[in-house]
Amino acid sequence: MAIERVISGMRPTGNLHLGHFNGVLKNWINLQHEFECLFFVADWHALTTHYDSPEIIEENVWEMVVDWIAAGVDPATATIFIQSKVPEHAELHTLLSMITPLGWLERVPTYKDQQEKLSSKDLSTYGFLGYPLLQSADILIYKATQVPVGEDQIPHIEFTREIARRFNHLYGKETGFVEKAEEAIKKLGSKKSSLYMEMKTAYQENGDQEALDSAQVLIEEHQGLSLGDKERLLGFLEGGGKMILVEPEYKLAPASKMIGLDGQKMSKSYNNTIALRESPESVEKKIKTMPTDPARIRRNDPGNPNHCPVWQLHQVYSSDEVKAWVETGCKEAKIGCIECKQPVIDAINKELKPIQERAFHYIEDPDLVKNIVAEGCEKAKKLARETMREVREAMGLNY
Ligand code: TRP
Ligand code: SF4
């Protein structure tokens, strides 16, 4: 579609670390320059797994927003808000729950996976089963077209697409739809309306995706169509009823090679992280105590970087020159492991320094962040309210 809108959320369940920064935040920061972006704190989603320790969420909401901004998410460009401050998400979640088959939720792979992984918690709750549907509401309420997520979240986006399709199928068929669509086509003017019809035929008869895309652009960019007519024309293109909810696409973050201190993926649950707020001394200590190639017992034992997690960090943080120095130095036992780790320590501290300085500025003055979030919530609410008006109307609830 012509106008891209990006949405993503993060659960406030702990300190942000370099895994978040390299995997998620850098991606958000790039997207904000290209698209309209909404980023939010998914505090309700955090409650699905942390209902017995809400204090963890409370502590992390503001810290997380500070870290986002300190890392480079720009509140002047992106809309930053908190899920629970826009209760329309919950209303849409309730309405969508009416049309969500239980089997669809039970089949989402994260449902069983997470229950097994977090087996110390009782996750046989209504809220946890509904996790993907709440996520669908988060996305659909903004008619977002793109959702940057990690690979594990793909089933949730696919689920969201199915829910949107089902909703449009059930509620997009107003009486007299075809007549109304035909009236709307006339409003495009004679030139554009024949173009629209040509592209519609090209898509419906030959599956011409480009024709569909161009027709969508044509409608989006045409001035003076009411929202209802826009939806009719978009829906009519694809043969169905009104397209009230928009099927989003996922945008996979570029694969992040960020490994943790033990060589596994960096994750809070493995206790192998470097926090964005980690002090330089602590970074140094953590890297210096990282395991290396077990074959290098003594300084003059040759090693193999491919067997060493420090090498993975060099992949993220070092120039080709430094990497070449590590490769020969390690294989020919010309450098010691402590020596080899120093450029990584320096690079991480260099990356963290400006982030920490900015974070400090916001910690000193909490009102700054509160105001940014209040403004973001207002903007989000405006968009959410608009969609809810249409959803209520489509479901016959506009009394
Ligand atoms: N489930 C996402 C995660 O764990 C967080 C999330 C909640 C989200 N709502 C969202 C992400 C909407 C993208 C869009 O990472
Ligand atoms: Fe790892 Fe570097 Fe030591 Fe080689 S020299 S084992 S790459 S830390």
Give the model's pLDDT for residue 205. Answer: 86
Atom 13 of ligand 1, nearest CA residue: 8
User: Between the ranges 173-182, 208-217, 266-275, 345-354, where is the mean pLDDT highest?
Assistant: 345-354
**Under 8 Å between Cβ of 41 and 138:** no
Cβ of 138 below 6 Å from ligand 1? yes
Q: What tokens does 349 get?
A: 């501290």
Sign of CA dihedral 19, 22, 27, 30: positive
Output the known binding site for ATP.
11-13, 19-20, 150-152, 265-269
Q: Residue 1 — pLDDT band, cuts 50, 70, 90?
A: very low
10 Å CB burial of residue 210 (0-12, 13-18, 19+) is exposed
What is the rounded distance in angstroms from the CA atom of residue 80 to the CA atom of residue 9? 10
Domains in the chain, start-ordered, CATH in brackets?
A: 5-172+246-256+366-394 (3.40.50.620), 184-237 (no CATH), 277-364 (1.10.240.10)
Centre a 10 Å sphere on the Cβ of residue 366 and count the other Cβ atoms it contains. Answer: 11
Residue type, 143: K
Q: Which of ligand 2's atoms lies nearest the C-alpha of 340?
A: 2
What is the maximal distance between C-alpha atoms in the chain? 83
Percent of the chain whose predicted confidence (pLDDT) is above 70: 99
Q: Residue 200 — pLDDT band, cuts 50, 70, 90?
A: very high
Cβ of 143 below 6 Å from ligand 1? no
Please say if the pLDDT value at position 162 is more than 80.
yes
Please say if the pLDDT value at position 204 is more than 90.
no
Cβ of 141 below 6 Å from ligand 1? no
* 3-class DSSP state of 38: strand
Please say if the pLDDT value at position 37 is more than 90.
yes
Please say if the pLDDT value at position 180 is more than 60.
yes
Sheet with strand 36-41: strands edge to edge = 79-82, 36-41, 5-10, 146-149, 249-252
**Under 8 Å between Cβ of 272 and 266:** yes
Give the model's pLDDT for residue 395. Answer: 96
Residue 103: partners with Cβ closer than 8 Å, 6 or more residues away: none
Average model confidence (pLDDT) for the chain? 94
What is the rounded distance in angstroms from the CA atom of residue 236 to the CA atom of residue 167? 16
Mutate to test the pocket of ligand 2, among 286, 287, 296 (most ligand atoms within 8 A of CB): 296
The residue with tokens 């006339």 is 186
Cβ of 6 below 6 Å from ligand 1? no
Cβ of 7 below 6 Å from ligand 1? yes
Cβ of 322 below 6 Å from ligand 2? no
Instruction: Convert the pLDDT of each residue in 275-332 to its tens digit.
Output: 999 999 999 999 999 999 999 999 999 999 999 999 999 999 999 999 999 999 999 9
**DSSP sequence for 165-202:** HHHHHHHS--TTHHHHHHHHHHTT-HHHHHHHHHHHHH
Q: Which of ligand 2's atoms lies nearest the C-alpha of 311?
A: 7
Cβ of 305 below 6 Å from ligand 2? yes
What is the rounded distance in angstroms from the CA atom of residue 349 to the CA atom of residue 341? 12
Residue 267: partners with Cβ closer than 8 Å, 6 or more residues away: 19, 260, 273
Instruction: Convert the pLDDT of each residue in 62-99 to its tens digit.
Output: 999 999 999 999 999 999 999 999 999 999 999 999 99
* 3-class DSSP state of 120: coil
Quote the ligand 1 centre to 10 CA distance (angstroms).
6
Mutate to test the pocket of ligand 1, among 11, 152, 160 (most ligand atoms within 8 A of CB): 11
Q: Residue 174 — pLDDT band, cuts 50, 70, 90?
A: confident
